[in-house]
Structures are given as C-alpha cells and as structure tokens.
Amino acid sequence: MTVENWFEGRVAVVTGGGNGIGRAHALALGRHGAKVVVNDLGGAPNGQGASHEAADAVVAEIRAMGGEAVANHDNVADPATGAKLTQCALDHYGRVDVVIPSAGIVVNNRFEDMTADDLDRVIDVHLKGSFFLAQSAFRQMRAQGYGRFVFTGSGTGMFGHGWMGNYAMAKAGIVGLSHIVAIEGAPHGIVSNVLMPNASSRVGVAMGSGFRELPAFAASMDRIDFAANRKGDPGYSAALALYLASDRCARTRGVFSYAFGRYGEVPLAVSRGWQVEGDEMPGPAEIEKHWDAICRRDELDEPADVYDEYALVLGIR
C-alpha cells in the first residue's frame, strides 16, 4: 500500500471511530496526514453502555505514527453532539474538511414485532446522528469553500435484509441525505457521497440469526462463505472512503460499494419505460399491457435531481 500525505493540512471528523470500519477510516486518515477527531461512545453493538477506551486507543495509535488526533466520547444519538464535534475540530485544529459518520448500532427484530424504541434507537444513531453532524459541519465548510462528506450506507438499505427494518430505513435515508448535501453544497466546493462498506466487524456478529426463519433469505445468505473472506479487513473499505474524502475526488451525489475485494458504483437510475400517447388517462389494464416496457432495463437514465427526471421525460435535458 502506498502511503502519501493526501490529507496534509486537512481536518477530519469520524464518528464510530473507535471500532471496526470507523476505526479503519480514522487510522487511514491519520496515516495519510489528516488531523482526526475520533468520536466513539464506546458502547456495545446494540448501543448500550459507554467507555472511553476505544476512541482513546485509536487516538494513541494515530499519535504513535506521528499524526495528530483528539478523542470525543459523546453520543451521536444526542442532536447536540454534531455541533460539539464540529466545535471540537475548530477548537483543536481551526477547521473541518472531512466528515465520515460511521457510528452505528443494530437492534434487530422481525418487521411486525419491531417497537417504537427499536426504531428510534437505530434512527437516532445512524440517520439523525449523521444529519446533525453534517448540518453543523456543512456551515463551516460553506464558509471555507471546501468540504467532503462520506456517509455510511449499507446494502441492507439498498437491497434489503430480513429482521433489519429499522436499520434499512436509516441507511436508505442516508442516501437521500447525501443527495441533499451534494446539491446544496455544490456551489460551495462541498462534495458528498455514500459508501456501502463491507467488513468483518462486531456489529455484523451482533446481527443475530432470527432472520433464518425466512427460508429463501436464509438460503441466499448461506451461499456466502464468510469465513473464507480474505478481503474482509475494514481497511479495504477505508481505501474507498479516503478517495471519496480527498480533494482528488470531484464526483458527488454518488453511492459506492465495497464487497469481497470488488469496488463498484451503485447506479440510481430510471428506465425509459412506457410513454402515454394522447390525452386519455390510462387505467390498470393499460399498465398491465405495457408492464414489460415499463420494466425494461436496456435503456436507463440517471437523473441529476428530481427535476432532471422530468426533463428527461419531456426531452428537454
């Protein structure tokens, strides 16, 4: 691995930076020259408990390699934490250039049994935690004229996973959040993308096995030999995160995936579909008649925003 100071003079905030994928992000940023605010509550994968050890250990590792880092132990589920993290970066290093919200918990249950508390606990950490940190950092980045966001998505949010309705909602919401940050940040040198990482981590182990009551879904999972995954180290995901967080990446409003050694883009596209002719409103029978055309995927468009889809349909792009 080539180590270059891609982030010399840059300041990064990483939540969930004490363990797993967040830890890999924080260490890689420090290794490549960034000053890093390492946030981690230090709780269990289900969000219970707290400890300073995880964040402090990562800070010590960054400093041992000659880098600069400071720990923060606040809970991102608290809306006030986002502003505290931005202020921490400003107080110690004078700016904030990179934000990677990686804090996460899992509270799994079947969809029909999921409680309001199950939902709130996961949404508060993943989605609201990302939102309030991004909102606070965005204001500073706008004033600077520069910023990079790498939000943490998931294949669960894009493709689905049994017994993880709350997690899927949160991760799908993060895609929408990143799009808005990208659109509103574009005039100010702010780039925003989503990374769907894949790695062996304690959160993955904590998923449980209740979803195995779903035969087809369990069979889909059983095809994968996770024990043989030689490219499951979180550092593989961190490599993509660092590129997206760098000033060398001009791409914005994208969704990218890492899995088992493969790096790829997750396109967000719409089919050319079936165009209604004339002024007569169709009914469900007409929809059924043209269903194959509606679902054809040989020609796809990727709208840049909601109105770009309308322009594509109207032929005025």
User: Are 255 and 175 contacting, i.e. CB atoms less than 8 angstroms apart?
Assistant: yes
User: Are 11 and 97 contacting, i.e. CB atoms less than 8 angstroms apart?
Assistant: yes
Residue tagged active-site, from 167, 236, 243, 310: 167
Instruction: Identify each DSSP E strand in the chain by its residue range.
Output: 11-15, 35-39, 68-72, 98-101, 147-152, 190-196, 254-259, 262-265, 270-271, 300-301
User: Are 317 and 308 contacting, i.e. CB atoms less than 8 angstroms apart?
Assistant: yes
- Taking the C-alpha atoms of residue 174 and residue 152, their distance in angstroms, rounded to an integer, is 7
**Residue recorded with tokens 């606040």:** 74
Residue of 202, 239, 257, 264 lying closest to 29 (CA atoms): 239
Q: Collect all residues with Cβ–Cβ distance below 8 Å to 227 and sequence separation of at least 6.
A: none
Residue 236 designated active-site: no
Find the largest Cα–Cα distance for the chain. 71
Q: Which residues are catalytic?
A: 167
